[in-house]
Amino acid sequence: MSAPDMGGTVVIKWGGGLITEKSQLCTINQTVVDSLADVCSKSDKRLVIVHGAGSYGHLKSKEFRLAEGNIESLDQDSAVSEVRSDMLKLNGIVLESLRNKGIDARSYPPHTWANGVGATFKGKLPLHDGVTVVYGDVVDDTSTDFGILSGDDLMYRYATEIPGVERAIFAIGEVDGILRVPPSRASSEDLIEVWSPDMEFEGEHASAIDVTGGIGLKAQRGAMIAEKGIDVIIVNGEYPQRVLDAIHGKSVVGTKIVSGNC
């Protein structure tokens, strides 16, 4: 696959809660990873895949308070290198699965090129002619020594800064999109099909596990992407056909995010 034969570019997040067992340290959902890789092999788009961390990143980062940066009284050095190495393992599994499907994928670990956290992190976004893969990572930070750069921030920057992006997709686990009430209380009626920042929802954020922002951060970054005129959709990544249809811009069960200005 080379760039000129491909359609436009689609930036897609494989959520950490989708591709890993979130509460069990370093446990992969291999079937889901392989089905997402299969979907990608069936698309003619130029893809940028941003994957989350799930149980390869959040549990240890939470324990050693890595999202707060360097804390004098804590020895966090080994945790920083362990989370980076766990994330490289997860990334290796993703890459192997993509390559097994015949995809020319190349990965760029953010701790090697990005500095700072949040939507304004610094670093030139790497791009491969085939499928580009990046992920949420522990990165250096000029003011706090290190911090957690979420894949949702990478989504925002890739979707709005690289040329020819047609749409941005957040594939998540367990739910069909943004729900009006937490998943434990929701029925199919509670799916918000079109969401804009002026609408409220009772998002559930597993803050005991998650060091980044859960569904709320996805919604916020999604709205920032939509504001720049790029279509944004959140889909349930456990349904491969929905993900494939979303990549091709077909209408699917999920939440379309529109900017508050529409």
Site residues (CB under 6 A) for ligand IP8?
16, 52-53, 57-58, 61, 83, 87, 136-138, 148, 150-152, 211-212
User: How near is the Cβ of 54 to ligand IP8 at its closest, in Å?
Assistant: 7
User: How near is the Cβ of 3 to ligand IP8 at its closest, in Å?
Assistant: 26
Nearer to ligand IP8, 176 or 210 (CB): 210
Strand order from edge to edge, sheet including 255-257: 105-107, 131-135, 46-51, 9-14, 165-172, 231-236, 255-257, 194-195
- Our CA angle for 228, 232, 233, nearest 5°, is 170
Helix (H) or strand (E) holding 165: strand 165-172
Are the C-beta atoms of 4 and 223 separated by less than 8 Å?
Answer: no
Nearer to ligand IP8, 41 or 115 (CB): 115
User: How near is the Cβ of 239 to ligand IP8 at its closest, in Å?
Assistant: 21
Nearer to ligand IP8, 153 or 190 (CB): 153
Q: Which residue is nearest to ligand IP8 (CB)?
A: 136
Q: Which of 17, 37, 11 is nearest to 173 (CA)?
A: 17
User: How near is the Cβ of 138 to ligand IP8 at its closest, in Å?
Assistant: 5
For 185, residues 6+ apart whose C-beta sits below 8 A from its C-beta are: none
User: How near is the Cβ of 1 to ligand IP8 at its closest, in Å?
Assistant: 26
Nearer to ligand IP8, 37 or 155 (CB): 155
Nearer to ligand IP8, 6 or 125 (CB): 125
Q: How many residues does the chain have?
A: 262
